[in-house]
């Protein structure tokens, strides 16, 4: 290869164009001309709009990660706030429904008291919300377990209600949880009275959540379908005037000694997930200090009549 052939590419490689200063001056003049033309005659609007359409996908993809981050943060925060607000509103609704249960009963009681020209103070019980954590799978035992125990001041025999009526009572307490016997259990009984007439009786569990039995009701008793049963307060275990059940059947068979009466529990025994623990007048509300759990209930005397056992349990004798 000759020397001239080698020199030509080298000359092309190191060929110098216009200087940098000259290029800058030309670009500045061109920019001024373009800005002046755009300002006076708006000739570049079409070009600008076209470029914006072409560059929009690029801008969107560059900004997409930031948008996703803020969108996720906002939605997760809103979801947490909504869950927290929903939980708080459910608790307030439960408390309100429990208080509303007694309004109609208290109105009738006040009317009777006004007729007698006397009145007695109405006590307000303390409540604590608890959640049902498990249900006894034994079909012959209607027991549930709550997430409150001795550390929360729960005691054996404490009544349990939901937003609709009395559910049962605590039969065993340990440090963290407590076991509740529902009113539908065959071993449970609760003193009740008819709201309309004041007739007192005892509602026995039947092993079915659909109905309770009212036993030893005479034929001449003023009881009819639709009557509301409320807790009478006898035995000082269940507080007075809480709804228990509604009479659904009254069978006055002349061949029987007593009337066959069935009542449907008002509490949602199968569906309630949150309940209220009630502190009665003869027990203190929960304090910061934990209480020692009580021992389980002793077994019933096999020689004792089942009805007598249920009545004794319902009366809740002190000591």
Rounded to the nearest integer, the mean pLDDT of the chain is 79
Locate CATH 2.40.10.340 in the chain.
126-315
**pLDDT at position 303 over 60:** no
Return the structure tokens found at 74: 């906002």
Q: Is residue 176 within 8 Å of residue 149, measured between CB atoms?
A: yes
pLDDT-derived band at 286 (thresholds 50, 70, 90) equals low
Q: Stretch 136-156: mean pLDDT, rounded? A: 91
**CA-closest candidate to residue 274, choices 82, 92, 37:** 92
Q: Is residue 148 within 8 Å of residue 154, measured between CB atoms?
A: yes
Q: Is residue 180 within 8 Å of residue 169, measured between CB atoms?
A: yes
CATH of domain 126-315: 2.40.10.340
Q: What percent of the chain has pLDDT over 70?
A: 77
**pLDDT at position 118 over 70:** no
For residue 21, the SS3 value is helix
Q: Is residue 106 within 8 Å of residue 121, measured between CB atoms?
A: no
Spatial neighbors of 34 by CB under 8 A, at least 6 apart, are 44
Higher model confidence: residue 203 or residue 256? Answer: 203
Q: What CA–CA distance (Å, rounded) separates 301 from 279?
A: 29
Please report the DSSP string for 204-258 in residue order.
Answer: EE-S-TT-EEEEEE-TT----TTPEEEE--TTSSSPTT-EEEEEEEEE--TTSSS
Q: Stretch 77-106: mean pLDDT, rounded? A: 80
Q: What CA–CA distance (Å, rounded) separates 22 from 201?
A: 111
Q: How far is CA 313 from the centre of its chain?
A: 30
Q: What percent of the chain has pLDDT over 90?
A: 34
Q: Stretch 57-81: mean pLDDT, rounded? A: 78
Q: Stretch 145-168: mean pLDDT, rounded? A: 92
Give residue-wise pLDDT tens across range 193-207.
Answer: 999 999 999 999 999
pLDDT for residue 50: 77
Q: Which residue has the tokens 């007695």?
A: 120
**CA-closest candidate to residue 183, choices 279, 299, 264:** 264
Give the DSSP H or E segment for 178.
strand 178-182
**pLDDT at position 284 over 70:** no
Higher model confidence: residue 290 or residue 38? Answer: 38
Higher model confidence: residue 128 or residue 70? Answer: 128
- For the chain, helix (H) and strand (E) counts, in that order, are 5, 12
- What percent of the residues of the chain are helix, what percent strand, and what percent coil, each to the nearest 5? 35, 25, 40
Q: Which residue has the tokens 């208290």?
A: 106
Q: Is residue 94 within 8 Å of residue 86, measured between CB atoms?
A: no
Backbone dihedral region of 198: left (phi > 0), alpha (psi from -120 to 50 degrees) or beta?
A: left
Q: Stretch 4-33: mean pLDDT, rounded? A: 70
Return the structure tokens found at 163: 């937003």
**CA-closest candidate to residue 175, choices 296, 295, 291, 297:** 291
pLDDT for residue 8: 58
Q: Is residue 162 within 8 Å of residue 95, measured between CB atoms?
A: no
For residue 174, the SS3 value is coil
């Amino acid at each position: 290869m000759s020397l001239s052939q080698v020199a030509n590419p080298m000359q092309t490689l190191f060929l110098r164009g216009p200087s940098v200063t000259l290029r800058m001056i030309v670009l500045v003049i061109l920019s001024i001309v373009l800005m002046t033309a755009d300002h006076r005659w708006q000739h570049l609007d079409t070009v600008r709009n076209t470029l914006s359409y072409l560059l929009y996908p690029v801008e969107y993809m560059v900004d997409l990660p930031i948008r996703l981050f803020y969108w996720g943060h906002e939605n997760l925060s809103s979801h947490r706030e909504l869950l927290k607000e929903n939980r708080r509103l459910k608790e307030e609704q439960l408390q309100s429904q429990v208080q509303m249960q007694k309004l109609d009963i208290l109105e009738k009681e006040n009317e009777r008291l006004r007729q007698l020209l006397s009145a007695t103070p109405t006590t307000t019980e303390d409540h604590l919300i608890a959640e049902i954590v498990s249900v006894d799978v034994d079909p012959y035992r209607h027991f549930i377990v709550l997430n409150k125990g001795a550390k929360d001041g729960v005691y054996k025999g404490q009544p349990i209600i939901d937003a609709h009526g009395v559910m049962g009572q605590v039969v065993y307490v340990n440090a963290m949880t407590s076991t509740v016997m529902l009113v539908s259990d065959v071993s449970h009984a609760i003193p009740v009275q008819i709201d309309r007439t004041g007739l007192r009786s005892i509602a026995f569990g039947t092993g079915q959540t659909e109905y309770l039995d009212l036993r030893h009701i005479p034929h001449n008793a003023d009881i009819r379908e639709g009557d509301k049963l409320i807790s009478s307060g006898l035995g000082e275990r269940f507080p007075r005037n809480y709804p228990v059940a509604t009479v659904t059947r009254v069978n006055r068979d002349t061949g029987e000694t007593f009337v066959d009466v069935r009542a449907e529990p008002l509490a949602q025994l199968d569906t309630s997930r949150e309940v209220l623990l009630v502190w009665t007048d003869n027990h203190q509300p929960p304090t910061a200090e934990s209480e020692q759990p009580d021992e389980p209930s002793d077994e019933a005397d096999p020689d004792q009549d089942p009805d007598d056992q249920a009545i004794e349990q319902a009366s809740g004798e002190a000591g």
